[in-house]
C-alpha cells in the first residue's frame, strides 16, 4: 500500500501526539519529584515483531532516546523463548534489569501490549526514574558499589498487571524492598495510566485512518527517517574522525577510564567504533549496551535536532567495538553511573569527533556531569532523617556563532534545579554562595559558558556527604584550538580544615558536623576556536563584568586591558608574540 | 464617587500592528469603532489618532480603559531602563544562573542575556534564613554605598532582592527606607512587595522586570494622560493588567510588571464576557493572527489566571496573568518540504513583514494565508486591488516549493498545507487543554483574530469540539475586553496542610481575610460597580506529589471531608485513577475579588440599521472554494447585512472588515441576539 505524503505527515503528527500525551499524563500524575518535576521519564510506541522504535514523546528525558526499543526487543525475545509469560490484553510488564536493554536500576520500565482485535499490533512502553529501588544507599547512586546487588532490587520482566488488574503479590515484593515505599503506588498507577491513555489515543488514531493505512505509514515513516538521517550524514565530509574522552575514575579504583572513538563516514552510514576503550571497571561507572547506543543517538540528536526519534533515524548509525569494554558491561558489574555520567562522556566523545567534521553544527564539550552531591543525616530540630540532593549543571561549550551557556543542565537531562530557598526550607543547610564560577569558561574564539560555584554549611546535627560527579581530573575539552573548561572541584571543610576527595569528583559518606561546609565548583564549558582570535572587545566586556580577571584576559586571550579598555598595540604585540 | 454607571466608555487596545478602539454609549446604544496603525515609538499618538478617527468628544467620555503593549514590548525587545540590583552577599548571579536549564531539549547551542547586567548587581552583607530569622544583620552603610554606585552608573530604577524576604521582609523594608533617602525618584522595587513566594530566581526576575519597566510605563502614561487632558478629558484612565482586571493609571506603575501581557488577557476577558451572554461558559479561545496563535481555556465563564508564566526562555514573570498559551502557527507560518520529503508547516514564519506572498510586501515563501487564497477561502479579488502580486505568483511559489517535490497539483498542495496546519494546531490545543486537566470536547471554540474564524470549523472538527462562536467583532476583541473587564484583585495564600490536619474554619478564615483585602482595594478605585463577586478555589495534591490540581469551590466554608471528596473527583476526572490509600492536602487557598461593572449589551456592536431582512439580501456574491471533497460554489455574505436571526448551511463565507468566517460543508451557522455567529459543527458530510 502506498500512502500519500500528506496522510503520512498527519499520521506522523498523530503518533507523536499519542506519545506526548503519555509523557504529560505520566509527569502530571506522578508522585516522585524526579518524574513530576525533573521529567526523568519517557514514553513511546514500539514495533510488535522486534521492538523497533516507532515514536517517542518529545518531552522525554534525552538519555532515554532509543533505550526502550532494546528493552522491548529483549522482552519480545524472552516471550518467544517462553522465559516470560505470553502477553494478553490489559497486561503490563515491569522490568528494571540493566542488562536486559536498560540503564540503571532506578529507571523502571513498563511495557503494555497493544491489540487490534486479537492481533498484537505494537507495544507501548515507558520508563520512570523511581527515587529508590533499595540497595546500599538511598537513591541508588553508591560511589563504591562493586556489584549490582548493592545498587538495588533487580526485576526481570514480570507481569505487574494481568488483564488490567495489578498483581498485589508481585507489588508486595517490590514494596518490601524499597525505601519510602508508601508513595510508590501513586507512581505505579501514574505509569500504568499513561500507557492506558496511550492505548486509547492510538486506538482512536487507527479507527480514524484505518489499521492498514497506519501500519503502512509506520513502515514508510521508518524509511523516511532513515533517509533524512542519511541526508544529514552526507553533510559530513568522508573520512575518519577520532576523539578520546575521560572519566575521572570508577569511584573504587583511582585511575581514569578512556572512551576511545573513531567515527567513519562510509557512503550514507556513520560508524562509531569504540575499540580500545577501557575494560569493565570495578566501581559503578560501567555502561550497558542500551545506554551506550542511546548516548550515541542522543549526541546525534543534539547535533541534528530535526531528526525524528525513530528506529529509522538510527539505522544509518552503526556502533561497534564496545564488546569487552566498560561500555558493554555484563552482570554483575555495578552500573549506577551509566545514565548520569558515562552517557555524557560518550556524548562528549561524539561531539569531539564530529566537531572536526561539522564545525558549524557541533559545540565544544559541555560540562557533562550531573554533579550529584547527596547529603544524608539527621535533623535534630525536626526530629527526623533527611536525604538531600543537589544536582548541578555547568558551562556549555562555545560554538561557531556564540559563547556557551552558563550553568546549563546536564547533556542528558532537561530539568530545573531546585531554588536555594526551597533547599533551605527542606534541609538543615545554609548556602553561603550560589554564584557564577569566574574564569571557568574555556578560552576560545567563542568561549565556554561558566560553571556554578556554591558553598553550603550544615547548620545542625550530623550528616554524611557523598559525591558522584565527574570532570574533576580533566576539564570539558575545547574544540578547534579552544581551551578546556575548568575541571570540577570539591572541597569539604571539616572542623575548619579543607579536605579534597581522593577521587576528586567521587567519594561516599564523608562525615560532617555542625558548621562544616561543602564547596563545589562545577566545570566550565570548552572553548571553541583559537582564543587569540576572539574579538578583544568581547574579552574586555567579560573583564568588565568580572567573568575573567585582567590577568586571565592576557594569559588566555592575549588581550591587554588597561583601565578597563583594550590596549590595541599591546594586544597585537602579545597576540603576535 | 461620580456615578458613571451609564456614561460613555471607551476601550483602546494597542496591539503590535493596530490600535483598536471601541466607544460605547450604553444609554443611547451608540457604538463607534476605529482601527488605526500603532505608533511604535510613542503609542500615545496612535491612541489619540484612534480617538480622532472615532470622532470622540473627549470631554464627554466618562471612562477610558486602556490596554497597552508598552511593557510587553520593552521586555521582549529588551528595551529596558537602566536598572541596578542590590542583593544578598553571595547571590548576585542568581539572575544569570537561572534554574540550570537550556533553551531547547535538543541542541546544545543558545544562550540568554540576564535582565540586569552583572556590573549593576551589587551584593551587601545581610542574611535571613528560611524561618525568617536574621543570620547576618543588614549592613546599612553598604546599602547606601551600593545606591550611590548605581546612581553613578546611571541607573534610573533599583531593585532590592534579599534571600527569604518572603519570610521576613525586614531587611528589604529597611533597605527601601535608606534608598528613599538617596534615590532621586520612586522607582524602587522591593522583591517581597511584588511577589510573596519563595524561589529566588523567579522572584528576582519578576522584581527586576517590574523595576526595569516602571520608568517606561510611567513616562508613557504621563504622555498619554497629558494628551488626553489637553483634549478635555478630565476623568481617570484605567489600565488593563495581565490578570484581566483594571487598575487606575495613577497606581499602575507601582506594580508595572502586572501590565505585561495584558493584550492577550483582554481578548480572553472579552471572550468570557461574550460567552457568558451567549450561554456558553466553557470556551477555548482561539486567536489566530499573522505570526502566532494564542489559546486559553475558560471554564465557567472564568478566565484562567496563572501565577507562574514564563513569557520566553529565562523570563519568568510570576504575577497573576491570564493563562494564554502560544501554540505556534499563524497565517504567516511557512510551509516547506523537509529532508525526509514530508510536508511541514512552521515554526518558521514570514511574520507581518515581509509576510505571506499575498500581502505583496516581498514575501516569496508559501504560507498558510497563501494556501487559503489558493483555495478561494480568502478573496483573491481583494488581493488584485493591491496590484503588487497576483494569484498566479502565489500559485507559482506553491508549485515550485511544495507541489513538485510532493507530486501534487497546486490545489492539493494548498489543501495539504491547511490540513497539516490544522492537525498541528489541534494537537497543540489538545496538549494545552490536557495539561490544564480538561477535555477539549467539553468546550466551544471562540474564534477571533484575523485568521481564527477561517480555520475554526476544521479545527473544531479535529478536536471534537461541537460548537464554534464567532463574536460580532473578532478583529477588535481586545479593545472590547477593555470595555467589559471588571475590576479584579487576586489573592493566593500558602496553606500546605493535609486535609485532615486543617483546623475547623481555618480555610474560611483565610478566604474571609482575602475577601476583606480585596474589598479595601476596590474601595480605593473610583469606578462604579454593581456588586462584588468572589471566586474561591484551592490548589490540592496528594501528600507527596509536586503537581497541583485546582479545585473550584462554590462556597468558602467547606469541610475537610468535602475537600477530600471534591479533590478525588477532580483527580479521577483528570487521570482516571483513584488513590483512596493516600491523603490529600491543600497547598494554596485562592480568592479573586471581582468588582463587577454594569453589564453591556453587546448586540449594539452591529449597527441594526445595516441589517437586511433576508439572507438573500445579505448575500454579496459567490465564489468557488476548495473543501476536502472538491470545489464548491460558495455563497458570500456581508456580516453587517445579516439579519438578526438566520440559519446558514455550509458551505458559506461570511466576510467582514476584519476577518473572514468560513462555514464548512456539514456545519450550520445561526445568529444570536448578541450579534454572534454560532456554528454547530457536524460530521463531514
**HEC string for A475-544:** CCCCECCCCCCCCCEEEEEECCEEECCCCCCEEEEEEECCCCEEEEECCCCCCECCHHHCCHHHHHHHHH
Task: Count how many residues are written for chain A.
Answer: 577
In this prediction, residue B45 carries a pLDDT of 93
| Residues on chain B touching A232 (C-beta within 8 angstroms) | 339
Nearest to B100 among A29, A228, A393 (CB): A393
Report the candidate in B602, B604, B633 with the shortest Cα–Cα distance to residue B619. Answer: B633
In this prediction, residue B1 carries a pLDDT of 37
* Number of helical (H) and strand (E) elements in chain A, helices listed first: 14, 22
Cβ <8 Å between A306 and B94: no
Q: How does pLDDT run across B291-344, given as a tens digit for each residue?
A: 788 999 999 888 888 888 888 899 999 888 999 988 877 888 999 998 888 898
In this prediction, residue A110 carries a pLDDT of 98
User: Is the pLDDT assigned to residue B2 strictly greater than 60?
Assistant: no
- Cβ contact A443:A396 at 8 Å: no
Is residue A55 classed as helix, strand or coil in its secondary structure? strand
Mean pLDDT over each residue of chain B, to the nearest integer:
90
Determine the residue among A231, A232, A421 to mutate to test chain B binding: the one whose Cβ has the most chain B Cβ atoms within 10 Å.
A421
C-alpha cell read off for B664: 464548512
Q: How does pLDDT run across B172-218, given as a tens digit for each residue?
A: 999 999 999 999 999 999 999 988 778 899 999 999 999 999 999 99
Q: Are residues B638 and B584 both part of a single domain?
A: no
Nearest to B545 among A186, A411, A544 (CB): A186
Q: Are residues B117 and B168 both part of a single domain?
A: yes
Task: Determine if residue B346 is left, alpha or beta; phi over 0 gives left, psi from -120 to 50 gives alpha, anything else beta.
Answer: left
Peptide bond into A328 cis (omega under 30): no
- Cβ contact B335:B417 at 8 Å: yes
Report the candidate in A230, A407, A410 with the shortest Cα–Cα distance to residue A302. Answer: A410
B574 lies within 8 A of chain A by CB: yes
> What is B286-312 written as a DSSP string?
EEE-SS-EEEEEEBTTBPPEES-EESS
B580 lies within 8 A of chain A by CB: no
Whether B124 maps to a domain, the answer reads yes
Residue A401 Cα, gap to closest chain B Cα (Å): 9
In this prediction, residue A415 carries a pLDDT of 81
User: Is the pLDDT assigned to residue B685 strictly greater than 80?
Assistant: no
- Kindly report the pTM of this predicted structure: 0.91
- Alpha carbon distance, N-terminus to C-terminus of chain A: 69
Can you tell me the distance from the alpha carbon of B585 to that of B578, in angstroms, rounded to the nearest whole number?
Answer: 15
Cβ <8 Å between A434 and B90: yes
Q: Which residue has the higher pLDDT, B657 or A497?
A: A497
Whether B286 maps to a domain, the answer reads no
Task: Determine if residue B23 is left, alpha or beta; phi over 0 gives left, psi from -120 to 50 gives alpha, anything else beta.
Answer: beta
Phi, psi of A193, rounded to the nearest 5 degrees: -65, -35
> Across residues A123-137, what is the average pLDDT?
93
In this prediction, residue B581 carries a pLDDT of 75
User: Is the pLDDT assigned to residue B137 strictly greater than 50?
Assistant: yes
Cβ <8 Å between A36 and B545: yes
Cβ <8 Å between A225 and B107: no
B496 lies within 8 A of chain A by CB: no
Residue A394 Cα, gap to closest chain B Cα (Å): 8
> What is A433-457 written as a DSSP string?
EEEE-TT-SPPSSBPPPP-EEEEEE
Can you tell me the distance from the alpha carbon of A498 to that of A517, in angstroms, rounded to the nearest whole number?
Answer: 9
In this prediction, residue A232 carries a pLDDT of 92
A58 pLDDT tier (thresholds 50, 70, 90) = confident
Q: How does pLDDT run across B578-625, given as a tens digit for each residue?
A: 777 788 999 888 898 988 888 888 888 888 888 999 999 999 999 999
B542 pLDDT tier (thresholds 50, 70, 90) = confident
Number of domain units in chain B: 5
Can you tell me the distance from the alpha carbon of A23 to that of B32, in angstroms, rounded to the nearest whole number?
Answer: 49
Nearest to A31 among B164, B202, B545 (CB): B545
| Residues on chain A touching B117 (C-beta within 8 angstroms) | 545
Distances from the Cα of A56 to the Cα of A14, A250, A533, B88, angstroms: 12, 32, 42, 44
Cβ <8 Å between A417 and B431: no
B134 lies within 8 A of chain A by CB: no
What part of A 341-360 touches B (C-beta under 8 Å)? Answer: 351
In the sheet where B9-14 sits, what is the strand order? B30-37, B18-25, B9-14, B63-67, B237-240, B246-248
| Residues on chain B touching A186 (C-beta within 8 angstroms) | 542, 544-545, 579, 582
Cβ partners under 8 Å of residue B178, min gap 6: B140, B143, B144, B147
Cβ <8 Å between A24 and B423: no
Can you tell me the distance from the alpha carbon of B621 to that of B641, in angstroms, rounded to the nearest whole number?
Answer: 13
Distances from the Cα of A72 to the Cα of A79, A114, A174, B289, angstroms: 10, 13, 21, 44
Using CA atoms in the order B360, B365, B368, B369, what is the torsion angle rounded to 10 degrees? 10
Can you tell me the distance from the alpha carbon of A233 to that of A267, in angstroms, rounded to the nearest whole number?
Answer: 9
Q: Percentage of chain B surpassing pLDDT 70?
A: 98
Whether B404 maps to a domain, the answer reads yes
Q: Cα–Cα–Cα angle for B365, B371, B375, nearest 5°?
A: 150
Cβ partners under 8 Å of residue A149, min gap 6: A135, A332
CATH of the domain at B52: 3.30.420.40
Burial (0-12, 13-18, 19+ Cβ within 10 Å), A240:
middle
Distances from the Cα of A89 to the Cα of A74, A96, A114, A123, A219, angstroms: 19, 22, 7, 11, 24
Q: How does pLDDT run across B448-465, given as a tens digit for each residue?
A: 988 899 999 999 998 999
User: Is the pLDDT assigned to residue B3 strictly greater than 50?
Assistant: no
Query: How many Cβ atoms sit within 10 Å of the Cβ of residue B234?
Result: 9
Can you tell me the distance from the alpha carbon of B252 to that of B258, in angstroms, rounded to the nearest whole number?
Answer: 8
B346 pLDDT tier (thresholds 50, 70, 90) = confident
B60-75 per-residue burial string, b: 16 or more CB within 10 A, e: under 16: ebbbbbbbbbbbbbbb
Q: Which residue has the higher pLDDT, B153 or A63?
A: B153
Q: Which residue has the higher pLDDT, B550 or A440?
A: A440
In this prediction, residue B384 carries a pLDDT of 62
Distances from the Cα of B188 to the Cα of A392, A566, B76, angstroms: 33, 35, 22
Can you tell me the distance from the alpha carbon of B430 to that of B433, in angstroms, rounded to the nearest whole number?
Answer: 5
Query: Which chain A residue has the Cα nearest residue B421?
Result: A10
Report the candidate in A507, A556, A564, A510 with the shortest Cα–Cα distance to residue A534. Answer: A556
| Residues on chain A touching B104 (C-beta within 8 angstroms) | 305
Q: Are residues B69 and B145 both part of a single domain?
A: no
Q: Are residues B223 and B243 both part of a single domain?
A: yes
Can you tell me the distance from the alpha carbon of B622 to that of B651, in angstroms, rounded to the nearest whole number?
Answer: 11
Query: Which chain B residue has the Cα nearest residue A298?
Result: B106
User: Is the pLDDT assigned to residue B255 strictly greater than 50?
Assistant: yes
| Residues on chain B touching A131 (C-beta within 8 angstroms) | none
Characterize the bridge pairing of strands B63-67 and B237-240: parallel
Cβ <8 Å between B419 and A10: yes
| Residues on chain A touching B577 (C-beta within 8 angstroms) | 29, 189-190, 193
In this prediction, residue B295 carries a pLDDT of 93
> Across residues A201-217, what is the average pLDDT?
95
User: Is the pLDDT assigned to residue B521 strictly greater than 50?
Assistant: yes
Q: Are residues B588 and B611 both part of a single domain?
A: no
Whether B438 maps to a domain, the answer reads no
Residue A516 Cα, gap to closest chain B Cα (Å): 16
Cβ <8 Å between A409 and B100: yes
Is residue B445 classed as helix, strand or coil in its secondary structure? strand
Can you tell me the distance from the alpha carbon of A281 to that of B159, in angstroms, rounded to the nearest whole number?
Answer: 52
Query: Which chain A residue has the Cα nearest residue B110?
Result: A405
What part of A 495-534 touches B (C-beta under 8 Å)? Answer: none
| Residues on chain A touching B204 (C-beta within 8 angstroms) | none
Query: Which chain B residue has the Cα nearest residue A20?
Result: B431
Can you tell me the distance from the alpha carbon of B94 to that of B68, in angstroms, rounded to the nearest whole number?
Answer: 30
C-alpha cell read off for B253: 506603575
Q: Which DSSP category does A399 fall into? A: B
What part of A 439-458 touches B (C-beta under 8 Å)? Answer: 449, 452, 455
Q: How does pLDDT run across B405-447, given as a tens digit for each residue?
A: 999 999 999 999 999 999 888 888 888 887 776 778 889 999 9
Cβ <8 Å between B427 and A227: no
Q: Percentage of chain A surpassing pLDDT 70?
A: 100
User: Is the pLDDT assigned to residue A280 strictly greater than 70?
Assistant: yes
Cβ partners under 8 Å of residue A274, min gap 6: A259, A260, A261, A292, A319, A320, A321, A322, A325, A327
User: Is the pLDDT assigned to residue B385 strictly greater than 80?
Assistant: no
Task: Print the domain residue range for B246.
Answer: 9-75+218-262
Amino acid at each position: 500500500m502506498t500512502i500519500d505524503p500528506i496522510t503520512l505527515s498527519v499520521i506522523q503528527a498523530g503518533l507523536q501526539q499519542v506519545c506526548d500525551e503519555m509523557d504529560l499524563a505520566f509527569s502530571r500524575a506522578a508522585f516522585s519529584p524526579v518524574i513530576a518535576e525533573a521529567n526523568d521519564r519517557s514514553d513511546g510506541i514500539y514495533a510488535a515483531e522486534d521492538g523497533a522504535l516507532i515514536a517517542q514523546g518529545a518531552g522525554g528525558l534525552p538519555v532515554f532516546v532509543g533505550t526502550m526499543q532494546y528493552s522491548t526487543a529483549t522482552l519480545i525475545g524472552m516471550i518467544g523463548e517462553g522465559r516470560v509469560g505470553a502477553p494478553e490484553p490489559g497486561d503490563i510488564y515491569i522490568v528494571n534489569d540493566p542488562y536486559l536493554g536498560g540503564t540503571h536500576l532506578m529507571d523502571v520500565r513498563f511495557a503494555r501490549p497493544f491489540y487490534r482485535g486479537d492481533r498484537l499490533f505494537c507495544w507501548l512502553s515507558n520508563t520512570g526514574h523511581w527515587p529508590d529501588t533499595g540497595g546500599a544507599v538511598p537513591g541508588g547512586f553508591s560511589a563504591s558499589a562493586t556489584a549490582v546487588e548493592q545498587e538495588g532490587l533487580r526485576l526481570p520482566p514480570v507481569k505487574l498487571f494481568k488483564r488490567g488488574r495489578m498483581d498485589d503479590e508481585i507489588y508486595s515484593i517490590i514494596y518490601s524492598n524499597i525505601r519510602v515505599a508508601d508513595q510508590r503506588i501513586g507512581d505505579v498507577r501514574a505509569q500504568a495510566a499513561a500507557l492506558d491513555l496511550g492505548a486509547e489515543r492510538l486506538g482512536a488514531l487507527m479507527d480514524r485512518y484505518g489499521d492498514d493505512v497506519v501500519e503502512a505509514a509506520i513502515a514508510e515513516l521508518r524509511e523516511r527517517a532513515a533517509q533524512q538521517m542519511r541526508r544529514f550524514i552526507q553533510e559530513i565530509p568522508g573520512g575518519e574522525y577520532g576523539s578520546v574522552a575521560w572519566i575521572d575514575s570508577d569511584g573504587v579504583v583511582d585511575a581514569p577510564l578512556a572512551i576511545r572513538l573513531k567515527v567513519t563516514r562510509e557512503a550514507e552510514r556513520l560508524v562509531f567504533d569504540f575499540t580500545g576503550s577501557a575494560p569493565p571497571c570495578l566501581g559503578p561507572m560501567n555502561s550497558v549496551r542500551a545506554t551506550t547506543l542511546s548516548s550515541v543517538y542522543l549526541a546525534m540528536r543534539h547535533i541534528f535536532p530535526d531528526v525524528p526519534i525513530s528506529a529509522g533515524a538510527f539505522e544509518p548509525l552503526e556502533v561497534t567495538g564496545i564488546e569487552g569494554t566498560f561500555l558493554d558491561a555484563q552482570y554483575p558489574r555495578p552500573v549506577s553511573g551509566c545514565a548520569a555520567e558515562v552517557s555524557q562522556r560518550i556524548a562528549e566523545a561524539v561531539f569531539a569527533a564530529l566537531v572536526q567534521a561539522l564545525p558549524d553544527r557541533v559545540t565544544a564539550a559541555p560540562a557533562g556531569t550531573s554533579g550529584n552531591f547527596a547529603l544524608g543525616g539527621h535533623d535534630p530540630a525536626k526530629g527526623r532523617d533527611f536525604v538531600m540532593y543537589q544536582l548541578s549543571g555547568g558551562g556549555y561549550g562555545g560554538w561557531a556563532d556564540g559563547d556557551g551557556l552558563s550553568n546549563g543542565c546536564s547533556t542528558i537531562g532537561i530539568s530545573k534545579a531546585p531554588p536555594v530557598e526551597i533547599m533551605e526550607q527542606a534541609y538543615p543547610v545554609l548556602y553561603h554562595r550560589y554564584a557564577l564560577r569566574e574564569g571557568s569558561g574555556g578560552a576560545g574564539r567563542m568561549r565556554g559558558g561558566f560553571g556554578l560555584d556554591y558553598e553550603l554549611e550544615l547548620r545542625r546535627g550530623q550528616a554524611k556527604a557523598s559525591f558522584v560527579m565527574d570532570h574533576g581530573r580533566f576539564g570539558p575539552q575545547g574544540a578547534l584550538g579552544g581551551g578546556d573548561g575548568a575541571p570540577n572541584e570539591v572541597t569539604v571543610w571539616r572542623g575548619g580544615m579543607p579536605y579534597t576527595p581522593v577521587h576528586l569528583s567521587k567519594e561516599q559518606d564523608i562525615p560532617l558536623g555542625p558548621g562544616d561546609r561543602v564547596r563545589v565548583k562545577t566545570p566550565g564549558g570548552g572553548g571553541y576556536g583559537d582564543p587569540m582570535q576572539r574579538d578583544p572587545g568581547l574579552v574586555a566586556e567579560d573583564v568588565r563584568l568580572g567573568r575573567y580577571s585582567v590577568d586571565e584576559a592576557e594569559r588566555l586571550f592575549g588581550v591587554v586591558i588597561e583601565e578597563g579598555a583594550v590596549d590595541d598595540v599591546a594586544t597585537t604585540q602579545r597576540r603576535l608574540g | 464617587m461620580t456615578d458613571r454607571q451609564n456614561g460613555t466608555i471607551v476601550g483602546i487596545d494597542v496591539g503590535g500592528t493596530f490600535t483598536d478602539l471601541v466607544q460605547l454609549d450604553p444609554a443611547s446604544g451608540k457604538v463607534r469603532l476605529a482601527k488605526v496603525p500603532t505608533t511604535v515609538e510613542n503609542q500615545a499618538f496612535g491612541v489619540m489618532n484612534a480617538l480622532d478617527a472615532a470622532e470622540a468628544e473627549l470631554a464627554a467620555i466618562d471612562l477610558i480603559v486602556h490596554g497597552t503593549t508598552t511593557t510587553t514590548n520593552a521586555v521582549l525587545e529588551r528595551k529596558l531602563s537602566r536598572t541596578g540590583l542590590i542583593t544578598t552577599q553571595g547571590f548576585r548571579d542568581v539572575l544569570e544562573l537561572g534554574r540550570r536549564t537550556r533553551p531547547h531539549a535538543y541542541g546544545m547551542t543558545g544562550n540568554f542575556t540576564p535582565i540586569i547586567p552583572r556590573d549593576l548587581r551589587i551584593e551587601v552583607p545581610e542574611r535571613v534564613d528560611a524561618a525568617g530569622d536574621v543570620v547576618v544583620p543588614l549592613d546599612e552603610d553598604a546599602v547606601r554605598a551600593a545606591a550611590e554606585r548605581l546612581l553613578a552608573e546611571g541607573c534610573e530604577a533599583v531593585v532590592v532582592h534579599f534571600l527569604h524576604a518572603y519570610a521576613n521582609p525586614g531587611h528589604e523594608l529597611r533597605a527601601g527606607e535608606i534608598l528613599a533617602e538617596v534615590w532621586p525618584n520612586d522607582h524602587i522595587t522591593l522583591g517581597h512587595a511584588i511577589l510573596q513566594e519563595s524561589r529566588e530566581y523567579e522572584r528576582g526576575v519578576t522584581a527586576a522586570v517590574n523595576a526595569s519597566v516602571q520608568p517606561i510605563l510611567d513616562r508613557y502614561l504621563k504622555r498619554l494622560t497629558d494628551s488626553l487632558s489637553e483634549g478635555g478629558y478630565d476623568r481617570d484612565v484605567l489600565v488593563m493588567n495581565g490578570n484581566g482586571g483594571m487598575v487606575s493609571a495613577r497606581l499602575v506603575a507601582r506594580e508595572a510588571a502586572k501590565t505585561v501581557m495584558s493584550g492577550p488577557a483582554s481578548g480572553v476577558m472579552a471572550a468570557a464576557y461574550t460567552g457568558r451572554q451567549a450561554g456558553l461558559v466553557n470556551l477555548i479561545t482561539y486567536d489566530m493572527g499573522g505570526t502566532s496563535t494564542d489559546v486559553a481555556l475558560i471554564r465557567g465563564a472564568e478566565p484562567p489566571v496563572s501565577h507562574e508564566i514564563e513569557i520566553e526562555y529565562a523570563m519568568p514573570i510570576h504575577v497573576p496573568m491570564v493563562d494564554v498559551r502560544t501554540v505556534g502557527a499563524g497565517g504567516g507560518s511557512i510551509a516547506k518540504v523537509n529532508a525526509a520529503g514530508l510536508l511541514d508547516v512552521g515554526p518558521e514564519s514570514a511574520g507581518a513583514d515581509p509576510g505571506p506572498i499575498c500581502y505583496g510586501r516581498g514575501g516569496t515563501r508559501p504560507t498558510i494565508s497563501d494556501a487559503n487564497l489558493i483555495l478561494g477561502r480568502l478573496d483573491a479579488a481583494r488581493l488584485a486591488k493591491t496590484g503588487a502580486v497576483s494569484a498566479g505568483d502565489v500559485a507559482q511559489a506553491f508549485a515550485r516549493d511544495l507541489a513538485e517535490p510532493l507530486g501534487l497539483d497546486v490545489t492539493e498542495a494548498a489543501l495539504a498545507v491547511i490540513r497539516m496546519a490544522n492537525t498541528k494546531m489541534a494537537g497543540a490545543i489538545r496538549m494545552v487543554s490536557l495539561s490544564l486537566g480538561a477535555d477539549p470536547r467539553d468546550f466551544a471554540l471562540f474564534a477571533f483574530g484575523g485568521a481564527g474564524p477561517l480555520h475554526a470549523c476544521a479545527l473544531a472538527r479535529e478536536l471534537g469540539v461541537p460548537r464554534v462562536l464567532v463574536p460580532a467583532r473578532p478583529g477588535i476583541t481586545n479593545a472590547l475586553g477593555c470595555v467589559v473587564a471588571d475590576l479584579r484583585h487576586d489573592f493566593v495564600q500558602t496553606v500546605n496542610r493535609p486535609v485532615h490536619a486543617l483546623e475547623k474554619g481555618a480555610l474560611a478564615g483565610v478566604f474571609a481575610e482575602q475577601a476583606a483585602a480585596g474589598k479595601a482595594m476596590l474601595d480605593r478605585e473610583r469606578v462604579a460597580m454593581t456588586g462584588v463577586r468572589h471566586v474561591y478555589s484551592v490548589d490540592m495534591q496528594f501528600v507527596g506529589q509536586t503537581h497541583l490540581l485546582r479545585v473550584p469551590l462554590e462556597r468558602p466554608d467547606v469541610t475537610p471531608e468535602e475537600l477530600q471528596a471534591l479533590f478525588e473527583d477532580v483527580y479521577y476526572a483528570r487521570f482516571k485513577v483513584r488513590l483512596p490509600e493516600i491523603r490529600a492536602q491543600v497547598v494554596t487557598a485562592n480568592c479573586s475579588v471581582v468588582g463587577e461593572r454594569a453589564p453591556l449589551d453587546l448586540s449594539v456592536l452591529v449597527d441594526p440599521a445595516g441589517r437586511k431582512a433576508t439572507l438573500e439580501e445579505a448575500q454579496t456574491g459567490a465564489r468557488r472554494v476548495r473543501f476536502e471533497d472538491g470545489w464548491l460554489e460558495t455563497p458570500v455574505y456581508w456580516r453587517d447585512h445579516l439579519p438578526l436571526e438566520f440559519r446558514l448551511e455550509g458551505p458559506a463565507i461570511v466576510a467582514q472588515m476584519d476577518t473572514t468566517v468560513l462555514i464548512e460543508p456539514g456545519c450550520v451557522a445561526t445568529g444570536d441576539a448578541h450579534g454572534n455567529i454560532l456554528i454547530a459543527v457536524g460530521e463531514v458530510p
